[in-house]
């Protein structure tokens, strides 16, 4: 772990903060050193929890920011992410959530998405994602809209 990073306290369902539509991040906020540190702490929290994605509201910060990662690749910070294109092809796949430990279920997601987002400097990016990464992105953006996967899952089970 990098010196100075902090593991943040996850919040769990049922918690009202997980059901809120989060506020966009303003460009001026990105100059705030504390917010920049928060993003680093959020990534550390995801890694500690062995998550493949984490959204700011999952630690009670109701802003539109999340991290997504895929196996073996660096995590990507998405600020104000928006899905601009989603494929007509949809696929069912199993999901879980750091905010709902031990619960899994199948969710229907677009197979591919194009998103636009800001990096930590507020620079705009566009990214195409497919399959697992596309699923993670859709799951995390749902968090920013206060939507949990269990509200759209089938074959939900607890372990």
Q: What residues are labeled active site?
A: 140
Q: How far is the CB of 54 from Zn ion (least distance, A)?
A: 8
Q: Which residue has the tokens 């796949």?
A: 93
- Which residue, among 17, 8, 78, has the nearest Cα to 47 in the 3D structure? 8
Q: How far is the CB of 95 from Zn ion (least distance, A)?
A: 8
Pick the binder of Zn ion from 97, 103, 113, 133 (CB under 5 A).
Answer: 97
Distance set, CA 106 to CA 75, 146, 149 (Å)? 24, 19, 9
Cα separation, 52 vs 27, in Å, equals: 26
Interface with Zn ion (CB under 5 A), residue total 1
In this complex, which beta carbon is closest to Zn ion, that of residue 97 or of residue 141? 97
- Closest residue to Zn ion, judged by C-beta, is 97
In this complex, which beta carbon is closest to Zn ion, that of residue 31 or of residue 94? 94
Among the listed ranges 4-12, 89-97, 106-114, 128-136, the one in contact with Zn ion (CB under 5 A) is 89-97
Q: How far is the CB of 49 from Zn ion (least distance, A)?
A: 11
Beta partners for residue 158, in sequence order: 103
21 CB contacts (<8 Å, ≥6 apart)? 144, 145, 146
In this complex, which beta carbon is closest to Zn ion, that of residue 13 or of residue 123? 13
Angle at 35 between CA 10 and CA 3, to 5 degrees: 75
Q: How far is the CB of 139 from Zn ion (least distance, A)?
A: 6
Beta partners for residue 34, in sequence order: none
In this complex, which beta carbon is closest to Zn ion, that of residue 112 or of residue 150? 150
Q: Which residues would be at the binding site for Zn ion (CB under 5 A)?
A: 97
């Amino acid at each position: 772990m990098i010196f100075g990073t902090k593991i943040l306290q996850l919040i769990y369902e049922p918690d009202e903060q997980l059901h809120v539509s989060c506020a966009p991040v303003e460009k001026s906020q990105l100059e705030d050193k504390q917010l920049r540190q928060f993003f680093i702490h959020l990534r550390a929290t995801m890694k500690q929890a062995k998550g493949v994605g984490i959204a700011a509201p999952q630690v009670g910060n109701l802003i539109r920011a999340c991290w997504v990662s895929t196996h073996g690749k660096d995590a990507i910070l998405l600020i104000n992410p928006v899905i601009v294109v989603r494929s007509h092809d949809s696929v069912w796949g199993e999901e879980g959530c750091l905010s709902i430990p031990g619960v899994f279920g199948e969710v229907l997601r677009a197979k591919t998405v194009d998103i636009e987002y800001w990096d930590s400097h507020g620079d705009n990016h566009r990214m195409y994602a497919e399959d697992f990464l596309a699923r993670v992105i859709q799951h995390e953006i749902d968090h920013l809209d206060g939507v949990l996967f269990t509200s759209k899952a089938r074959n939900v089970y607890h372990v």
